[in-house]
């Protein structure tokens, strides 16, 4: 099921720390064949954890950041560049946790056009903007990353209202 309002999420896909590590390591297997890489540029904040895992797996010690703010809670907000990076990205990996609508991806692609852009997760609207990704999820799915969640009781699916699912 897809929606026309891109701020509407009909599904939630919780990611555990273990799953994120497995998925980021699997992405590393795809990326190692495309190197060698000069370094990694992580898109903050979501790209920091995957970038750290990928840096370890590919034995990359040079890690930079481009700092972008685009969400306020579960709502997309105005994109703000808080810190840019220098150069055109040639020979560098650009890492983020997710490409969603592609707004951040377009902005960063303009800033660093020659970087190889990789994300762990990709939604259909943003997928064409990345060079490599690990897992595709539907556009109407909110990915609940482990740094945004806590463990608590969950109602059985049968006991939830349809809009809660």
Give the three-state DSSP class for 31.
Answer: helix
Q: Which of 59, 88, 90, 97 is catalytic?
A: 97
Residue whose entry in the numeric block shows the structure tokens 């220098």: 86
9 closest CA partner among 98, 158, 154, 137? 137
Q: How far is CA 130 from the centre of its chain?
A: 10
Residues in the chain: 165
100 is catalytic: yes
Backbone angles phi, psi at 63, to 5 degrees: -130, 130
96 is catalytic: yes
DSSP class of 139: T
Q: Which of 7, 23, 64, 96 is catalytic?
A: 96
7 is catalytic: no
Sign of dihedral through CA atoms 143, 148, 153, 155?
negative
Q: Which of 88, 100, 131, 164 is catalytic?
A: 100
Active site residues: 96-97, 100
């Amino acid at each position: 099921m897809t929606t026309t309002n891109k701020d509407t999420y009909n599904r939630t896909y919780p990611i555990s720390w273990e799953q994120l590590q497995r998925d980021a390591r699997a992405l590393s297997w795809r990326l190692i064949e495309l190197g060698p890489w000069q370094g990694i540029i992580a898109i903050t904040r979501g790209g920091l954890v995957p970038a750290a895992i990928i840096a370890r797996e590919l034995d990359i010690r040079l890690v930079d950041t481009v700092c972008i703010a685009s969400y306020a809670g579960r709502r997309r907000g105005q994109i703000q560049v808080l810190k840019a990076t220098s150069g055109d990205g040639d020979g560098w990996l650009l890492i983020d946790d997710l490409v969603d609508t592609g707004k951040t991806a377009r902005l960063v692609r303009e800033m660093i056009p020659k970087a190889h852009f990789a994300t762990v997760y990709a939604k259909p609207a943003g997928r064409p903007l990345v060079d490599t990704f690990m897992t595709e999820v539907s556009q109407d799915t909110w990915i609940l990353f482990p740094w945004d969640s806590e463990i608590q009781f969950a109602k059985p699916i049968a006991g939830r209202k349809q809009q809660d699912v």
